[in-house]
Amino acid sequence: QVQLAESGGAVVQPGGSLRLSCAASGFMFDSYGMHWVRQAPGKGLEWVAFIRYDGTNRYYAESVKGRFTVSRDNSKNTLYLQMNSLRAEDTAVYYCGKDGGSGFDYWGQGTPVSVSS
Partner 1 sequence: EIVLTQSPATLSLSPGERATLSCRASQSVSSYLAWYQQKPGQAPRLLIYEASNRATGIPARFSGSGSGTDFTLTISSLEPEDFAVYYCQQRTNWPLTFGGGTKVEIK
Q: Footprint of partner 1 on this chain (CB under 8 A)?
A: 35, 37, 44-47, 50, 59-62, 95, 100, 102-105, 107-110
Q: Which is nearer to partner 1, 29 or 50 (CB)?
A: 50
DSSP code of residue 67: T
In whole angstroms, how close is the CB of 10 to partner 1 at the nearest point? 20
Q: Which is nearer to partner 1, 31 or 103 (CB)?
A: 103
Q: Which is nearer to partner 1, 62 or 117 (CB)?
A: 62
User: CB under 8 Å to 38, separation ≥6 — which residues?
Assistant: 45, 46, 48, 90, 92, 93, 94, 95, 113
